[in-house]
Structure 1
């Protein structure tokens, strides 16, 4: 583990930019960016277009380590280059921003009120490639759709089992058991989730380090115990479908919880904008998200 990177993630000011839209979410991201479905005719063309969008974001003068700690990348992005360097090297060497890799393969069908991760059959091989590409950490998402104690235990079991394998490989895993913000029993689900997370943390070896990416909680400062746990490098929040304004307002009420926003970060960015317009919109978003993260 790169100790300089670890200390920056653990103690630095800023937030994490989530730029990891994959196969299923890429068309929507492109539509929001002003690129319709009929503009491309294959996955290759689609991923070329999304890489152009991500490159425009990452090379923007607004996208700096002054406000951004890390950026979450899709596997396809890890293997591509920006200005002649692999994306992770560009981020760290040119921007001082930590590269993080999304490793999950999507969600399984809902059972017991949760959608667990599909099996990651090539995890060890993927982690080796990630280390070769100088990736700092990983991220993996599953979703809680109901306050079902059995389902939530299963989802946390899976997150920790895979997370410990990632930590053993020398990377810092971000565990993301997202609670759907639209479910009627969200607060009850969060209570069950925190109980399971704290129970699992109590079983870890002293030198095991990880992070959490969680939905902004219904009760302010609800995850303070997780933030204080010695195993936890950082706790970050996903926007989860809230607008950028509402996500920032809710985040600001949760002290030491920082953002890891995707849609709320890229809101308002359009391919048709001039670079000056694009950079101005991105700068406003980054400034507002940073401000909400620094409470």
Structure 2
């Protein structure tokens, strides 16, 4: 593991940009960016269009490690280039941004009010490839749809189990058990989740660390015991459907938690903007998320 990158993730002031929209979420992301589905035909062209959007974001003058300490990439992005260099190498060498890779292959059907991750086929080979392409860590998402103790326990156990496999390759896993923000028992689900994560951390060997990506909690500073835990490198927040303003306001109330926003990062960006307008918009966005992250 790159010690300089580890230090940046542990103590760096700023947030992680989530640039990892995959097949299912890409059409929506492009539509919000002003690229309608009739502007491309087939999956290859769709991914070309989303890569153009990501390349424009990372090329923006404001997109540097000064405020954006890390970025999460989709597998296909890892295999492509930014600025004439392999994507992860460009992020670190040219921008000072630590590269992560989304490794999950989507969600299984709902059971016990949660959606586990589908089995990740070929994970060891993907992790070897990630290491060879200068990736620092990984991210994987599952979803909690109610305060179901059995379901949440299963989610956390799966996240830690795969997390250990990722650690064995020398990569830093971001575990992402997302609590759906619209559920009526969100606070109860968060309480169960926090306890299960603490159990998982206690079972990790001393000297090992993980990261966590969690929905913004109902109660401010609710995840402080996780943020302060010696086996947690960093706790980051997903916006989960909140508007950027709401997400930033909630994040500012959660001390020590930093953003890892996707849709809230690209809100207001458009393919139709001139480079000057685009760069000005993303600079303001980056600054607002940065300010909410350094509380």
Query: TM-score, structure 2 length as denominator?
Result: 0.99
State how far apart, in whole Å, the 2-side matches of 1:116 and 1:208 are: 24
Q: Tell me if 1:186 matches 2:182.
A: no
Q: Cα deviation per residue 1:122-166 (whole Å; 9 max; x = unaligned)?
A: 100000000010000000000000100000000000000000110
State how far apart, in whole Å, the 1-side matches of 2:186 and 2:77 are: 33
State how far apart, in whole Å, the 1-side matches of 2:247 and 2:82 are: 30
Matches within 5 A, 1:51-200: 51-200=51-200
Q: Displacement, 1:214?
A: 0.0
Q: Displacement, 1:284?
A: 0.7
State how far apart, in whole Å, the 1-side matches of 2:85 and 2:206 are: 36
Q: Tell me if 1:5 matches 2:5.
A: yes
Contact 1:164–1:208 under 8 Å retained in 2: no
Q: Cα deviation per residue 1:167-213 (whole Å; 9 max; x = unaligned)?
A: 11100000000000000000000000000000110011012111000
In the alignment, structure 2 segments of 5+ residues that lack a partner are none
Q: Cα deviation per residue 1:208-256 (whole Å; 9 max; x = unaligned)?
A: 1110000000010000000111110000000000000000000000000
Aligned residue in 2 for 1:292: 292
State how far apart, in whole Å, the 2-side matches of 1:84 and 1:291 are: 31
State how far apart, in whole Å, the 2-side matches of 1:203 and 1:78 are: 32
Pairs aligned (count): 295
Q: Displacement, 1:19?
A: 0.3
State how far apart, in whole Å, the 1-side matches of 2:270 and 2:255 are: 32
Aligned residue in 1 for 2:274: 274
Q: Displacement, 1:279?
A: 0.6
Structure 1 runs (4+) deviating above 3 angstroms are none
State how far apart, in whole Å, the 2-side matches of 1:174 and 1:37 are: 32
In the alignment, structure 1 segments of 5+ residues that lack a partner are none
Q: Tell me if 1:250 matches 2:260.
A: no
Q: Cα deviation per residue 1:19-58 (whole Å; 9 max; x = unaligned)?
A: 0000000000000000000111111000000000000000
State how far apart, in whole Å, the 2-side matches of 1:95 and 1:83 are: 11
State how far apart, in whole Å, the 1-side matches of 2:289 and 2:190 are: 23
Query: TM-score, structure 1 length as denominator?
Result: 0.99
Contact 1:215–1:239 under 8 Å retained in 2: yes
Aligned residue in 2 for 1:230: 230
Indicate the SS of the match to 1:202.
helix
State how far apart, in whole Å, the 1-side matches of 2:81 and 2:73 are: 12
Aligned residue in 1 for 2:19: 19
Indicate the SS of the match to 2:174.
strand
